[in-house]
Amino acid sequence: MDIARALRQSNPKLSRFDPMSRIIAFDDFDDGFCGWTQLVGNYEHTLDSMLPGYAQHTQPQLSNLANWDSGTHGAFDGNYALKIQTRPKKGAQNVALKRLTFREPGPIRLEFYFTFKPEATELRLSETDVRSVGFLYDLQTGFEKGGSRVMPHVRFLNASDGVHLQKWQTKSRTTAIKPLGTEGKTVTHYHLAPTDWEDLPGGEQKLCYNEIPTKVNWHYVRYDFDLRTMRALSLRCNDREWDISGVDPIVMPAMRNLWCMLNICFFAEADTDKRTLFYVDSVCLSGEFA
């Protein structure tokens, strides 16, 4: 194992990550979208049946962070990052996700580098135009395990109604589950509703926003979760780490077609009528299994 660690640490792309023993996915967006796509809401017979929160979603983009005043900023490494872009409306959201299943219900670690900015439509600092950026897992136990769907949510609440809050939050509840259509096979719920976010104790954190809306700095996140107990373990962002083992994820009864689901989502929310731009480069998902 020391050899494996030495090999990882000598690889410039992986050396900035601290993965568990097995790398499940390593997504560098210079290689393309790597399986990251838009979260499309559920529907039956007509797209009109999709909840409005999902209907607003659009395709993620491969961005070189091009700016009107200073040209291409580039990504953490190479030229391209994954960009999740909201519509230019207060409260607008967008979600990108990668859909996997798991083979070993044990500890997993999500690591990624991120940055965010509002669209630079004004010559102002604009530090409160982004409401939040965040991530979540959408999980379900194996069929034989009886069954829960589990959705741990984490967001960095940057601002709300113009107040610069800069704190981490989690969520333990979703909206009521509603049937869709007429066939009795599809349901929906809106887990990214603005309600039910709770402050992570001690979760205030000042990030490096920089000094105009076209300069970005990349930040590191590490999130540990145990698929056996279906509970989070810890959250780290840059130089801060929190024990979040006491934080309850959203839990609901298992759904009929989602066994062993392991979906990872990134989401962005706007706090003003400007597009929020959430960039990720790159992502490493690892697990502890033989």
Q: Give the interface with other proteins as residue ranges (CB under 8 A).
A: 32-33, 38, 40, 47-48, 50, 55, 58-59, 61-64, 66-68, 80, 83, 85, 87, 119-121
**By C-beta, is 86 or 141 nearer to other proteins?**
86
CA 226 to chain centre: 17
Strand duo 22-27 + 37-38: pairing: unpaired
| Residue 93 β-bridge partners | 269
**By C-beta, is 56 or 234 nearer to other proteins?**
56
**By C-beta, is 67 or 166 nearer to other proteins?**
67
**By C-beta, is 50 or 280 nearer to other proteins?**
50
Shortest distance, position 114 Cβ to other proteins, whole Å: 17
| DSSP structure string for 79-105 | S-EEEEE--SSTT-EEEEEEEEE-SS-
Residues near 278 by beta carbon (within 8 Å), at least 6 away in sequence: 83, 84, 85, 94, 114, 116, 130, 133, 266, 267, 268
> How many whole angstroms separate alpha carbon 34 and alpha carbon 268?
19
Shortest distance, position 94 Cβ to other proteins, whole Å: 10
User: Torsions phi, psi of 283, nearest 5?
Assistant: -125, 135
Shortest distance, position 116 Cβ to other proteins, whole Å: 15
Shortest distance, position 268 Cβ to other proteins, whole Å: 13
**By C-beta, is 155 or 274 nearer to other proteins?**
274
Shortest distance, position 264 Cβ to other proteins, whole Å: 19
| Nearest to 230, CA basis, from 243, 252, 249, 253 | 249
**By C-beta, is 60 or 203 nearer to other proteins?**
60
Shortest distance, position 63 Cβ to other proteins, whole Å: 5
